[in-house]
Structures are given as structure tokens and as C-alpha cells.
Chain A
Amino acid sequence: MNNLNCEYVLDVYPDVQSGTLDPVQARQVQEHLASCDECRAHAELLDAVRDQAAVVPAGLHERVIRSALEPRPRLRFARGEIAMVAMLAAAVIGGSILMQSPQPQPAAPQESFGFVTVEDAMLTGKASLDDLTVAELEQLLKEIDS
């Protein structure tokens, strides 16, 4: 196995598939795959996913083009109607301000997995995505999204 780590290989393998990765790096990725069973299994899986891209059904191109080229009707309002709509909008907005409910309480903090946060663990180089379990990856997602 060469110097590339498995997380990097999984990250960039789609770029190898599409031919957009630098040729030297692509060769290094292929060398890594030749000697890493785990990464080779992931690569075969990603090849299978790529091979199954959906095919556009017959007739859909023409249907979309026809709709896109149809002239769009222009809505016309009389001045009186515009004034009435504006008054109704003002009434609705004013009413909603009066009826505003109290702010919701923030959610309780989530439990972590023995690090200060999983992301901290990664920043100190203690773990890579590849080393994290499914549960730890889910925890990391919650921390990132919060």
C-alpha cells in the first residue's frame, strides 16, 4: 500500500471515475486500490453506483422544450384590485404580528462519544473519517449542522 490514506482515496475516487483527477494522483490511487482490499471494495461499489445513472425516458426532452418555449401569460390587475390586495396583505401582516407566539426553547445539548467533540478529535489528528463508526459519523453531522 502506498502513502495515500483510505479516507483520501474514498474522497477522490469519483474524480478518478470521471477522469478529472490529476494523472499522477490518479495513478497513485490505482496503486493504493491494488493493495487495499477495503478501498477496492468501496471502489467497486462506487463503480456499480455510477453504472446505474438513470436514463432519460423517451419524450421527456421534447415535453420540456415544448413547455419552456410556450409563451407565458402575463397577469394584469386593475389599479383598484392592486390597492385591495395591498390592503389585505397589510391586514394579514399586522394581524400576524399581534398574534405572534413566544420563542421556542432551545433543544438540550447532544451527548458526545468520549471526545470533547468528535470534530475536535479530528482536528487534533486523532481520527480520520475512515476511523469513525457510523454512530460517530452521525454525531459529527449533528455537531456540524448545529
Chain B
Amino acid sequence: MSNPALQLVEATRNEDDPALLARARAGEPEAIEQLVRRYLKDVYAVTARVLGDRDLAQDAAHDAMVNALNALHRFRGDASFRTWLIRIAVNAARTVGRRATRRGEVPLDRVSEHAADAGDAATLVAARDDAARATVMLNQLPHKQRLAVTLRVQQGLSYREIGVVLDCTEGAARVNYHLGVKRLRELMK
């Protein structure tokens, strides 16, 4: 005889977003937990890319997910839920970054380079393989280019979706991506 609890876990794991969102809006704890397990990885990847600081990125990811879950009634479905969530993550990261700057923890123009720069002569030396170097160099790019490359390559967003997240046109999102890749290639040489 199958376990009803396991059946529920399996059902929510395979559940598509509209059904899961409806249950989360109704306040079902299992649905809320499932949304967190499904999307926190994407949210954290974005806040880490914006901030370049692990502790700040965790705070921003936490705030983004909690705010989004408390505002599910505002999600209209114009874009995918994931795109909507990533946009909230970018805004949360900026807020956390500004707060850290006001507290004097990290200068704003250095927030995203903090981890890539300082201490991290050691990081750079250690980052001999291309993958780790690419991450360090990616943090050197201007904000929109850095995000356009990250959202396209790591999150697989379309240019239209990137435009929604970055609040720019689809064309500008595409140009930011191309510019980011070219600059990254120059930095890696």
C-alpha cells in the first residue's frame, strides 16, 4: 500500500506552477515550501551575481522569496512566475546593497566587485581554471551586462524575459548580453 504522504510529495514535485501557486495563495504550507525548494536556487544565483557577497546575497534572497510569497496575489501572469520572482530578486539585491553601503559595510560601487576584488588576489590566484576565472571576471562587468549574461546563460531566460527583469526593451537586453560576452572574453585574455 502506498504512503499518502509520499504521494503528496511526488504530486507537488511534478505539479506545474499555476496549480502550485493557487495552493500557495490559499496558504497551504506544503505548497509554499515547494515553491521555495523549486525557486530559491534561481533567486540566490541572481542575488549572488548582483552583490558578489555571500552574506548579503543570502539576506537578499531571503527577503526576495518572503516578499514574493507574501505578494502572490499581485502576480498577474503577464510573465512567467520565475521571471517575476527574478525581478523581485534583483530589486531585493539592490535594496540590500544600498543598505549595506549606508551602514558603511561596503561602498555601493564596490558591492558587486567586493568578493572579486580584494581578498581576492588570493581568489584570483586560486582561480586558475577557466570556470572560476569566468565567475571572477563576470563580477567586473557593468551591472546590466553582468545580469544579462547570467540570466541568459544560468537561468535560460529569453531576451524578452531579461527585459522584464532589467526593466529595458528586449533589444536592449540582447545588446547587453552580446556586449557582456564580448567584454568577458576581453577580460579573460
Query: Which residues of A line the B interface, CB within 8 A?
Result: 7, 10-11, 14-15, 17-18, 20, 41-42, 44-54, 56-57, 60-61, 63-65, 67-69, 72, 129-130, 134, 137-138, 140-141, 144-145
Interface residues of B in 34-88 (CB under 8 A from A): 36-37, 40-41, 44-45, 48-49, 54, 57-58, 61-62, 65-66, 69-70
Nearest B residue to A138 via CB reads B179
How many angstroms between the C-alpha atoms of A68 and B188 in the bound complex? 41
Main secondary structure of the interface of A (DSSP, over half): helix
A45 CA / B174 CA spacing, docked (Å): 17
Per-position 1/0 for B159-184, Cβ under 8 A of A: 00000000011011011101101111
Contact, CB under 8 Å: A134 / B171: no
Question: Once the chains are docked, how many angstroms separate the CA of A129 from the CA of B175?
Answer: 8
Instruction: Given A54-B44, A141-B172, A144-B172, decide whether A68 and B69 contact each other with a Cβ distance below 8 A.
Output: yes
Does B154 lie at the interface of the complex (its beta carbon under 8 Å from any beta carbon of A)? yes
Cβ–Cβ < 8 Å partners of A17 in chain B: 153, 156
Number of B residues, CB within 8 Å of A: 49
Check A60/B61 contact, CB under 8 A, given A45-B185, A65-B33: yes
Q: Output the least CB separation between B135 and chain A (Å).
A: 4
A131 to chain B, nearest CB (A): 11
Beta-carbon contact of A52 and B132 below 8 Å: yes
Q: Tell me which of A10, A63, A72, A134 has the highest count of chain B C-beta atoms within 10 A of its own C-beta.
A: A63
Minimum CB–CB distance from B115 to chain A (whole Å) comes to 11
B10 sits at the interface (CB 8 A): no
A64 & B178 in contact (Cβ 8 Å cutoff): no
A45-B130, A129-B178 given; 17 more Cβ-contact pairs under 8 Å: A17-B153, A17-B156, A45-B185, A49-B134, A49-B154, A52-B134, A64-B36, A64-B40, A64-B62, A65-B33, A69-B29, A69-B32, A72-B70, A134-B186, A141-B176, A141-B179, A145-B172
